[in-house]
Amino acid sequence: MLSLVVENVSKSFFTSHNRIHTLDKINIEFKKSEFICILGPSGCGKSTLLNIIAGLETATTGRVILNGNEVKEAGPDRVVMFQEPALFPWLRVIDNVEFGMKMAGISKAERRERALKYLKMVHLTRFQNSFVHELSGGMKQRVALARALTLDSEVLLMDEPFAALDSQTKNILQLELQQIWWETKKTVIFVTHNVEEAVLLADRVIVMAANPGSIKKEFHIQLARPRQPENVDLAYLAAGIMKELKEEVEKVAKVEFDSEWSIKKDLLLSDSDSNMGIGL
């Protein structure tokens, strides 16, 4: 039974001339097989939090405890998937998918078996012998997802994995991910800027506040799956989450632009992609 707890985690970065207090006393308890989306304005520390859970960054104070052990470094029990697929262009798809397993010392026969299983899951069996440059952006991200799945980690950490994709491809991958999550029962921690994406995928949405990053509000979503973006209940939930997020995005914008800045009524709410706070 998985137990993953972020306990009182704070993080400051120290540069030559100042201290950036990025995260302030974050507490989250993740459940086995839970799908959690983390939303928040740009710079509130979403990636930093994910990296601390991954063991790629260390908390300044507080700790992350996975199955009773404090996380001190990256490990195969917490695989991370980023916005950029980071594939090796000189390797074929199947060899890219096998790469992590090769590093983990898994035998050749088992590597191949698992790679084919997960390539099938992401519907890329036909492309197993293709080179990366022959694939579209969405296909590359599906290869990265297959590679991430092969390590059979209990926890999958995803940092805006679909943000660089066009909206049709994104929709397909969101549906695929819902299916894969359902089949693999992993705990998924998914960082996004996109409110629609969050309500489509998550059991729980955590909205973060910025300066310093902290948890503003949590939303539990109990709607049946697979969810469809046009569902009325989803739209209603998205509007509630958007309202919380908008306040935070506006606060950040006021600091980064000037105090007169304000979001024009419903301007961002009508953005068809529901992305909030990107690149402020």
Nearer to ligand ATP, 45 or 55 (CB): 45
Structure tokens at 253: 């914008």
How far is residue 144's CA from residue 167's CA, in Å, rounded to a whole number?
19
* Nearest alpha carbon to residue 77 among 85, 67, 86, 87: 67
Is residue 20 near ligand ATP by the rule CB under 6 A?
Answer: yes
Span from 14-22, 92-100, 148-156, 214-222 in contact with ligand ATP (CB under 6 A): 14-22
Is residue 12 near ligand ATP by the rule CB under 6 A?
Answer: no
Is residue 46 near ligand ATP by the rule CB under 6 A?
Answer: yes
Residues between 141 and 200 that touch ligand ATP (CB under 6 A): none
**C-alpha to C-alpha distances, 30 to 35, 245, 267, nearest whole angstrom:** 9, 22, 34
Strand partners, 81: 158
Closest CB 49 distance from ligand ATP, rounded Å: 7
Nearer to ligand ATP, 14 or 232 (CB): 14
Closest CB 45 distance from ligand ATP, rounded Å: 4
Applying CB under 6 A, among 34, 43, 195, 237 the residue interacting with ligand ATP is: 43
Q: How many residues does the chain have?
A: 280
Applying CB under 6 A, among 48, 96, 153, 187 the residue interacting with ligand ATP is: 48
* Nearest alpha carbon to residue 163 among 22, 55, 42: 42
Nearer to ligand ATP, 47 or 187 (CB): 47
Structure tokens at 137: 């952006």
Applying CB under 6 A, among 28, 44, 119, 165 the residue interacting with ligand ATP is: 44
Applying CB under 6 A, among 47, 96, 128, 174 the residue interacting with ligand ATP is: 47
Check if the beta carbon of residue 145 is closer than 8 Å to that of residue 190: no
- Residue 258: which residues within 8 A CB-CB, separation 6 or more? none
Strand partners, 187: 155
Span from 2-10, 36-44, 139-147, 199-207 in contact with ligand ATP (CB under 6 A): 36-44
Nearer to ligand ATP, 124 or 158 (CB): 158
Place of tokens 């022959």: 134
Is residue 10 near ligand ATP by the rule CB under 6 A?
Answer: no
Span from 28-36, 42-50, 219-227, 232-240 in contact with ligand ATP (CB under 6 A): 42-50
Structure tokens at 57: 């960054």
Nearer to ligand ATP, 21 or 225 (CB): 21
Beta-strand ranges (E) seen in the chain are: 4-14, 19-30, 35-39, 61-66, 69-70, 78-81, 155-159, 187-191, 204-209, 214-220
**C-alpha to C-alpha distances, 55 to 12, 61, 163, nearest whole angstrom:** 16, 14, 23
Positions that interact with ligand ATP (CB under 6 A):
13, 15, 20, 22, 40, 42-48
